[in-house]
């Protein structure tokens, strides 16, 4: 009922997983990750606690291949489908005999793709090929694989949810929880496309792409980003109009005053002073 890809980025050490399925809120069920430890996919008829057990095994230093071997020989996990990736990029996967057909997994260098109840046997090869051919950072490559899987048919029963989770290859600290990206689409007619849109929006926030945020941020904040975008490109009149629209809304003038210490907002606010 699910297809997923998990991988390590050799350039940054980041670890990630992308998954889609014809179930509600697949991000709650399939992916598990721990910064500096690894990433796990638990699919098919796997018991709900298996993901936590596999992550605990990685934390203790057990290799992914050994963890997968143990699960494959456990009677209670006969119908499971799992993939395990550690912080060094070692990866192992297994598809139990009781998994829903069409099912399987493919393991490559620092990544694996796996799925069950797939629409065709082309889903997994398409995902693997797309992942290896994609450029850009780990989120882009994971989404490329997920998109290819959906384009090849994806889940036989249809589509409902998708998730993208990326964590650091280094352990979390008090200053950094290690979560680089945690995006979920819980109920959608096209969850993979929706997940790509969320990824683009996250990138816009991270990179301060004010032009994009002026179009796609929540409606109440669009004038703020329009002002910042106009100020960045030297459009004083555009920035002034956007700020005037903000100040006309109840409460926003006080918020702007409270943000006087923020260099970005202060510089734009001076256009009205």
Render pLDDT for 84-116 as a digit per residue (tens, 0 to 9): 999 999 999 999 876 778 899 999 999 999 999
Binned at pLDDT 50, 70 and 90, residue 21 comes out as very high
Residue among 82, 95, 102, 85 at smallest CA distance from 1? 102
pLDDT of residue 98: 67
Query: What CA–CA distance (Å, rounded) separates 156 from 181?
Result: 28
Query: What CA–CA distance (Å, rounded) separates 214 from 159?
Result: 30
Superfamily, domain 2-206? Aminohydrolase, N-terminal nucleophile (Ntn) domain (3.60.20.10)
Question: Does pTM surpass 0.75?
Answer: yes
Render pLDDT for 50-94 as a digit per residue (tens, 0 to 9): 899 999 999 999 999 999 999 887 766 667 899 999 999 999 999
- Range with the poorest average pLDDT among 33-47, 52-66, 88-102, 125-139: 88-102
Question: Residue 33, by phi and psi: left (phi above 0), alpha (psi -120 to 50) or beta?
Answer: beta
- Range with the poorest average pLDDT among 49-53, 200-204, 230-234, 263-267: 263-267
Tokens at 71, concatenated: 């699960």
Query: What CA–CA distance (Å, rounded) separates 209 from 221?
Result: 14
The whole-number average pLDDT for the span 201-206 is 95
CA 271 to the chain's CA centroid: 39
Torsion of CA 193, 195, 197, 200, to 10 degrees: -140
Could you tell me the residue ranges of all domains in the chain?
2-206, 210-272
Sheet holding 161-167, edge to edge: 104-108, 111-116, 2-8, 15-21, 161-167, 179-185
Share of the chain above pLDDT 70, in %: 93
Render pLDDT for 222-257 as a digit per residue (tens, 0 to 9): 988 998 999 888 898 998 898 888 888 888 878 777
pLDDT of residue 108: 97
């Amino acid at each position: 009922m699910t297809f997923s890809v998990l991988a390590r980025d050799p350039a940054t050490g980041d670890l990630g997983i992308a998954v889609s399925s014809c179930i509600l809120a697949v991000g709650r069920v399939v992916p598990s990750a721990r910064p500096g430890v690894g990433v796990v996919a638990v699919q098919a008829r796997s018991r709900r606690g298996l993901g936590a057990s596999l992550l605990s095994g990685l934390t203790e230093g057990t290799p992914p291949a050994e963890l997968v071997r143990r699960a494959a020989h456990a009677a209670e996990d006969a119908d499971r489908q799992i993939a395990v990736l550690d912080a060094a990029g070692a990866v192992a996967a297994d598809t139990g005999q009781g998994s829903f057909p069409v099912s399987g997994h493919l393991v490559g260098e620092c990544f694996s793709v796996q799925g069950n109840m797939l629409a065709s046997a082309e889903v997994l090869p398409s995902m693997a090929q797309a992942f290896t051919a994609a450029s850009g950072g780990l989120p882009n490559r994971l989404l490329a694989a997920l998109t290819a899987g959906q384009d090849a048919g994806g889940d036989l029963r249809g589509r409902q949810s998708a998730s993208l989770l990326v964590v650091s290859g280094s352990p979390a600290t008090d200053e950094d929880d290690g979560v680089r990206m945690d995006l979920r689409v819980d109920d959608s007619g096209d969850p993979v496309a929706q997940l790509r849109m969320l990824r683009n929006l996250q990138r816009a926030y991270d990179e301060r792409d004010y032009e994009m945020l002026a179009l796609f941020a929540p409606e109440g904040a669009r004038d703020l980003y329009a002002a910042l975008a106009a100020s960045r490109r030297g459009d004083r009149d555009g920035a002034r109009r956007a700020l005037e629209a903000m100040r006309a809304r109840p409460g926003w003038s006080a918020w702007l005053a409270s943000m006087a210490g923020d260099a970005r907002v202060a510089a734009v606010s001076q256009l009205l002073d």
